[in-house]
Structure 1
Amino acid sequence: MNLHFQEGPSRQYLQDMYNSVILKDIVQRNNLRDVDLLERIIGYALNSIGHVFSASNITKYLKSEHRKVSNDTVLNYLNACTTAYLFYKIPRQDLLGKKLLSINEKYYVVDHGLREAVYGHNARDIDQILENIVCLELLRRGYTVTIGKTGNFEVDFIAEKGNKKCYIQVTYLLASPETVEREFRVYKDIKDNYPKYVVSMDELDFSHDGIQHYNIRKFLQLPHDY
């Protein structure tokens, strides 16, 4: 995957930052020799922001690109990226089994402006960018963040801090009754009384059944602890 940089002063600044992180914090610190492989893995992760994937997903993609690499190598390169704070790795937890899951995490980029400069397509991938914004805000506020799996459904974020906890589902628009049903349905099997939110770009309030809906701007302006 070749990464094509956009033009313009701010994008040039972000491009320079990206190159600095790649060369200094990842390649040199970890003594990585295959920079092309690293960039391909980063490109895959940037494309997959907000989507669960595993090392085997990347190895299969690389195989289609005629690059043979082991799962362990992919994991080592991804760990180098998270150690350099290019990405945050968010683990998944089984809400019914009460345990962390060891596969299919999500990765979020430290700055979605960096994603635009490096990979592009932020305007096209607005749903992924909204998730990235919410994730970064939760981390900034000091929450421990995980993804929740409940049966066949998944909650985008579980945010915990001390005795505080909340659930957050992020979507672009609640554009149809089917979309409303899908986004609110994920909470059906979660029986505790912690706050449950659906966050979108909609201006209308779709709150119901004790689940609070917020426009993302209003959600980000809520008091420091949800």
Structure 2
Amino acid sequence: MTGDKKSYFIFKDFIAILDLERYLRGNEIVIISGIRRCGKSSLLKLIAGQLEGVKFYVDFDDIRLANFEVKNFQDLQDLVTELYREELDKSETGQVYYFLDEIQNVPLWERWFNNLYKESKKVFATGSNSQLLSSEISTFLTGRNKVLRLFPFSFKEFLRLKGIEITGEEIEAGLLTSSGKAEIFSYFLEYFESGGFPLVLKSGDLELSRGYFEDILTKDVLVRYNIKEGKVLKDLALFLLSNVGRAHSYPTLRNITGIKSLSTIKNYIDYFRNVFLLYQVPRFDYSLKKQKVSSSKIYTVDNSFLKTVVFNFSENKGQRLENLVFVELLRREKEPYYHSEKKECDFVLREGLRVSEAIQVSVNLNNPETKKREIEGLKEAMEAYKLDSGLILTLEEEGTLDAGGREIVVKPVWKWFLE
């Protein structure tokens, strides 16, 4: 973000949380993956600013490179030699760093990366397609790469943007005043509405996320997968966004959307997942066969879409809060499922072969029926997976509840985000 001091400090604070040092050292190729506009390109530039040597940047999303071919890889290397000949001659190490944006747009990139690795060139690249990156990395670059998954800003990062440094430990120790808590809660409500896209937060223009959504559908899905039925695809995306946190089977989606082919529905959802727009959460079952045929829940990567893209969704705070919690679980590298038997629990987290945590999300527990439903669903999950405690995340309520010898912790979600 050269020349823009404010945005530089936004991302400077942001990357402090990422512990970039482990990605800078070593010769491994570093792949930064994530949805469009989450800060991947800015992160590349910031990494470049921390390294000494020849630095070569290419944006493969540039329309002028639309016809890039395999033979042009050598052209790029020749260009580096031509442009930086004098600098390379003076350098003791001759170290060259390649910074390559949206690499999934060019053919056979992984083989070129392999060659660069063998030539001791350090490569940093970004990609906006999870399926493409994972399949090609696993085939050609196993053991030669590090993957950094990037998301829109977390609440901690949002607070850093606002100039606030606070940890969960400080809050638990009572070091935060009542006015301080009120300030952080007001910021959480803002984050709850606006999501975490860096430029949206920097500009204060929430409508930017609508443009992001359209770009993702057009550039990353319709064009890449050569889909002709653009309206059908968009209608499915809008329906899924309108129903985050709700379970749907493919036959149910067929009946609702009118898309006759189950395989088409599955493919479309896979495409949304590949570009990090949507995520699919399965029902937990110890039987993988049963798990695969069960209905799944859908969530989206950023809450801003639930304000700018979906109609009449803004007041459904429960679903939006649940979506926010889901994305934070991904950031923490958890493996979330949902529990559903006689009752339902929003999230159960698997570690290895066992479920380690059960979490319910509710705006509040003021309504007796809501409170009963949340407790019973959580209690059933705790009993099913032999857990001694469970968690209910709310906007403001806090305390503990007894569930037949098991403890239920009720915690404000903003505190949980700061842990």
Q: Assess if the C-alpha contact under 8 Å between 2:254 and 2:260 holds in 1.
A: yes
Post-superposition offset of 1:101: 4.4
Mapped pair 1:197 → 2:380:
no
Separation of aligned partners in 2, 1:18 and 1:138: 22
Q: Counterpart of 2:342?
A: 152
The one-letter code of the counterpart of 1:138 is L
Separation of aligned partners in 2, 1:147 and 1:133: 15
Post-superposition offset of 1:79: 0.9
Q: 1:202 to 1:80 in 2, by over 3 A?
A: same
Q: What is the TM-score of this pair, normalised by structure 2?
A: 0.46
Q: 1:194 to 1:25 in 2, by over 3 A?
A: farther
Percent of pairs with identical residues: 24
SS of the equivalent of 1:30 reads: coil
Q: Assess if the C-alpha contact under 8 Å between 1:167 and 1:194 holds in 2.
A: no
Post-superposition offset of 1:93: 1.1
Separation of aligned partners in 1, 2:257 and 2:333: 36
Post-superposition offset of 1:179: 2.1
* 1:201-216 equivalences in 2 (<5 Å): 201-209=395-403, 210-216=407-413
Q: Counterpart of 1:114?
A: 305
SS of the equivalent of 1:208 reads: strand
Post-superposition offset of 1:117: 1.3
Deviations 1:144-190 (A, max 9, x none): 111112x3111110123468821101112111333222111123333
Root mean square deviation of aligned Cα: 2.3
Post-superposition offset of 1:206: 5.0
Mapped pair 1:217 → 2:407:
no
SS of the equivalent of 1:203 reads: coil
Separation of aligned partners in 2, 1:137 and 1:40: 27
Separation of aligned partners in 2, 1:216 and 1:148: 20
Q: 1:187 to 1:203 in 2, by over 3 A?
A: closer
Aligned length: 209
Higher relative contact order (CA 8 A, sep 6+): 1
* 1:1-150 equivalences in 2 (<5 Å): 10-63=205-258, 68-94=259-285, 100-149=291-340
Q: 1:19 to 1:176 in 2, by over 3 A?
A: closer
Q: Assess if the C-alpha contact under 8 Å between 1:201 and 1:215 holds in 2.
A: yes
Q: 1:187 aligned to 378, 387, 390, which one?
A: 378
Q: Assess if the C-alpha contact under 8 Å between 1:148 and 1:154 holds in 2.
A: yes
Q: 1:205 to 1:121 in 2, by over 3 A?
A: farther
Q: Assess if the C-alpha contact under 8 Å between 1:91 and 1:105 holds in 2.
A: yes
Q: Counterpart of 1:3?
A: none
Q: Assess if the C-alpha contact under 8 Å between 1:90 and 1:147 holds in 2.
A: yes
The one-letter code of the counterpart of 1:211 is I
Q: In terms of mean alpha carbon deviation, does 34-43 or 54-63 score higher?
A: 54-63
Q: What is the TM-score of this pair, normalised by structure 1?
A: 0.83
The one-letter code of the counterpart of 1:200 is T
Q: Counterpart of 2:6?
A: none
Post-superposition offset of 1:83: 0.8
Q: 1:194 to 1:83 in 2, by over 3 A?
A: farther
**Which is greater in Rg?**
2
Q: Assess if the C-alpha contact under 8 Å between 1:87 and 1:108 holds in 2.
A: yes
Q: Counterpart of 1:5?
A: none
Separation of aligned partners in 1, 2:313 and 2:413: 17
The one-letter code of the counterpart of 1:16 is G
Separation of aligned partners in 2, 1:84 and 1:46: 15
Post-superposition offset of 1:17: 1.1
Post-superposition offset of 1:120: 4.1
SS of the equivalent of 1:112 reads: coil
Separation of aligned partners in 2, 1:143 and 1:116: 26
SS of the equivalent of 2:283 reads: strand
Separation of aligned partners in 1, 2:369 and 2:210: 40
SS of the equivalent of 1:133 reads: helix
The one-letter code of the counterpart of 1:125 is N
Separation of aligned partners in 2, 1:57 and 1:164: 28
Deviations 1:20-40 (A, max 9, x none): 111111111211110000011
The one-letter code of the counterpart of 1:146 is Y
Post-superposition offset of 1:116: 1.4
